[in-house]
Structure 1
Amino acid sequence: MKIERLSPDKIRIFLTFDDLSERGIQKEDMWQEIPKVHDLFTDMMDQAYNEVGFDATGPLAVEVFALPAQGMVVIVTRGKYDHHQYMGHIEDEIPEDVYEMEVTLEESDTIVYAFNDFEVLIEAAHVLQWNITKAGKLYNYNDKWVLYLEPADLDEDKHPSLIAVLAEFGESISTTEAVLEEYGKVIIPEDAIGVICHHFARQE
């Protein structure tokens, strides 16, 4: 479980499938109100408080992004109490530490990884070129190099090895293509892996 603070009221949590299987949770369970999912969420909030000081009191909007062969990205945004929701309750009876979750789930087949250093991306591209023929679009977004891969361009049987390489060199992100197109800059519009390998040599 990896936690990153995005703003004072928002965090991003990356859950691997190992994190889920250790708790007996399937991907489809994540939007259900079942005890083991509630326990997982409690653990996430405890860890978020301990690691990044994120206080989960108040209503929370929870977005769950399922990523192929990688795990899940959970975006938690803290809101404020809407006292109109508690009509009929005595205000003093509203517990301060209770959080109200609104969970939405999106599933994406795309594979998106960010790299802080272009040299690291070059190294990853040279390793990947043996598994990928012509695929990938490269963006510059938030001062990072973002490699965007469409599943239709990839051999499904090679997904696990592909993910293993990408996870070694980069960081999985849930940014959509629409966001990358609007707020990022397209550096290589197609065949990014091949273009990088052709123009840039690996470091010895």
Structure 2
Amino acid sequence: MIELKIEKINESQIKLILTQADLSERNIKLEDLTIPSEKTQELFHDIMETALEEYDFISENTPLMVEAVPVGLDSIMIIVTKIDSKNQESIGAKILSQQKDLRRFKRKSLVFQEGESDKNSDILIYSFAKLDDVIDFSLRIADTYHDASSLYKLYDRYFIVLQIKQDGDENKAEELELILGEYGQKHISVQLSKYYLIEHGETIIENKAITLLSKCFAC
């Protein structure tokens, strides 16, 4: 089991960062953190137990606010805040002040996820070392892939985001991943990760990356 590296922010707050490998070891997906389940409850129990042992962070009989905020394409920050019922307003103001950027990002992310097209599609996110690799991949699938695709640049890598419509073809995403694996590296593929690219990366082509690249570079 992974070792939880928790940092104490103050007497009312702790935080830790989980990577994709950490979540995979517990058989948890990023989107699972938004839905109560036995696995997420076990993770939260371990977090609070570790916090108690390391920092004497006592949470018994205390209301808690738990936030899960992406801090990269393959990492997520868990923030646990004790809410004193007598001082909820002052604590809320302090949290807002300390974490303005994180809450702004989270708020925008939630709005972004409300789009109907996002609800009815699966998402794949892969990165490539060179633009040539993105072009080669686009040329290879151009005749068969007609759903939304966007291209971003971040950390000197090129990221392709595929929004695959749920049209009953259960093998579509699996077949695309087999091809994508030949060219690039997979990342946590959820809407929050896509928004992280929009927020922090450079948008090169929006929605029609595969179509435009294949047309521009076709022989």
TM-score (norm: length of structure 1): 0.48
TM-score (norm: length of structure 2): 0.45
- Structure with bigger helix share is 2
